[in-house]
């Protein structure tokens, strides 16, 4: 998705950046304010809703399953307060990374305005994608989702999820919600705002859909797969800005991008077309969180397919534009070399003879002998 997606232009000496710099310098203030809320009994209950995860269910230990009690979670309306709090945390972390890491690199590299904006975008997103990939992979390994692909649809609906799984989804939603105020902080151009809203909205729509429809297992696998490919793109672009001769990362990203789209479609078809389609309980039930009906399966699968088609369309346009730029710049460079070579040869012709070669009698030509004799 981010082959063309940009987060916006740089905003030096703007009111938005001033606010972000102030947030980054005073990033301990929100934690101090939250601590004050915990000190008073009246506000402690409200503060807990914002900071900690809600709707936990304790499953007692049994001799057959486990020797310890297990705490699982489901979702509810109070999750909006938690998402809002961590959205503010994401804004602060965004400002800290921008000021203490990216701005220092920008001052050393002396990028142009366009490269400055794209470098900031890739720096922020590569950090987020790397963090999400590592965390998501650890959840997949600990929950044995990779070793057992049938866990993507087995025992659906997945209404009860472990702590790490719920916290992962909360932070994902919080991060992409924080991208909306960042449009203001970065002073995004008016003509780019709509594209950015679509870019952010696609993430929120699919992540929230997987969370609300209890498709967290499949959503986690697809997110980790997608984030890994996007991380490779943005890290390659960072290396490209430091050295424009670097192109190998983009070639590897292009191959993995296509493979990632195919693998996403395969897993989606297996889950909705075979796994959930053969489940015994296929009745809509809001109380149990079961959305396994034909209309929902077709709608979700169509949404995933349309998203993959949209990304492939953007990818193809991106590759065609790069090919046109490369092909247009190549004849110009060849032409410049030809003109320069022609200019050099003409000067040598005047000095040394034909085609710039030094002849054996170049220094003692018949005309020179004639002039000397006269």
pLDDT tens profile 165-223: 999 999 999 999 999 999 888 887 788 888 889 999 999 999 999 999 999 999 999 99
DSSP label of 76 = -
**In what helix (H) or strand (E) does residue 57 lie, and over which residues does it extend?**
strand 56-59
Whole-angstrom distance, CA of residue 108 vs CA of residue 87: 31
CA dihedral 23, 27, 31, 34 (to 10 degrees): -10
Closest to 9 in 3D by CA, of 115, 124, 129: 115
- To the question of pTM greater than 0.85 for the whole model, the response is no
DSSP label of 70 = E
Structure tokens at 294: 């034909």
Give the per-residue pLDDT at 332: 56
CA dist 15 → 19, 86, 107 (Å): 6, 23, 20
Whole-angstrom distance, CA of residue 121 vs CA of residue 99: 13
User: Residues of the chain whose pLDDT is less than 70?
Assistant: 1-44, 61-67, 329-374
Contact between residue 198 and residue 179 where contact means Cβ atoms under 8 Å apart = no
Q: What is the mean pLDDT of the chain?
A: 80
How long, in residues, is the chain?
A: 374
CA dist 152 → 46, 148, 303 (Å): 35, 8, 18
* 366: phi then psi, degrees, rounded to nearest 5: -60, -35
- DSSP strand E in 156-296: where? none
Structure tokens at 89: 């945390």
* 77: phi then psi, degrees, rounded to nearest 5: -65, -25
């Amino acid at each position: 998705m981010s082959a063309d997606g940009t987060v916006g232009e740089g905003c030096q000496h703007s009111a938005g950046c001033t606010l972000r710099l102030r947030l980054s310098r005073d990033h301990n203030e929100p934690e101090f304010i939250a601590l004050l809320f915990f000190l008073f009994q009246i506000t402690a209950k409200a503060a807990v809703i914002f900071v900690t995860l809600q709707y936990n269910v304790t499953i007692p230990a049994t001799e057959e399953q486990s020797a310890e009690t297990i705490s699982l979670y489901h979702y509810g309306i109070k999750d909006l307060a938690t998402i809002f709090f961590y959205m503010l945390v994401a804004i602060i972390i965004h400002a800290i990374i921008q000021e203490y890491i990216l701005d220092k690199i920008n001052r050393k590299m002396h990028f142009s305005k366009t490269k400055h904006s794209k470098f900031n975008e890739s720096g922020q997103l590569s950090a987020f994608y790397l963090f999400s990939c590592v965390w998501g992979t650890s959840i997949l390994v600990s929950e044995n989702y990779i070793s057992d692909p049938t866990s993507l649809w087995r025992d659906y609906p997945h209404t009860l999820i472990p702590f790490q799984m719920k916290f992962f989804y909360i932070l994902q939603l919080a991060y992409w919600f924080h991208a909306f105020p960042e449009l203001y902080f970065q002073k995004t151009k008016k003509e780019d705002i709509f594209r950015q809203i679509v870019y952010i909205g696609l993430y929120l729509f699919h992540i929230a859909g997987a969370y609300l429809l209890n498709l967290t297992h499949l959503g986690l696998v697809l997110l980790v797969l997608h984030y890994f490919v996007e991380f490779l793109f943005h890290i390659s672009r960072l290396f490209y800005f430091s050295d424009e001769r670097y192109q190998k990362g983009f070639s590897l990203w292009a191959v993995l991008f296509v493979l990632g789209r195919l693998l996403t479609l395969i897993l989606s078809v297996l889950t909705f077309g075979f796994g959930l389609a053969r489940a015994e309980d296929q009745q809509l039930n809001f109380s149990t969180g079961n959305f396994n009906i034909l209309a929902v399966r077709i709608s979700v699968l169509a949404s995933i397919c349309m998203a993959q088609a949209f990304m492939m369309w953007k990818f193809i346009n991106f590759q065609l534009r790069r090919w046109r730029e490369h092909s247009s710049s190549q004849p110009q460079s060849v032409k410049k070399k030809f003109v320069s070579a022609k200019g050099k040869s003409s000067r040598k012709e005047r000095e040394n003879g034909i085609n710039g070669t030094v002849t054996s009698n170049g220094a003692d030509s018949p005309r020179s002998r004639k002039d000397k004799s006269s």
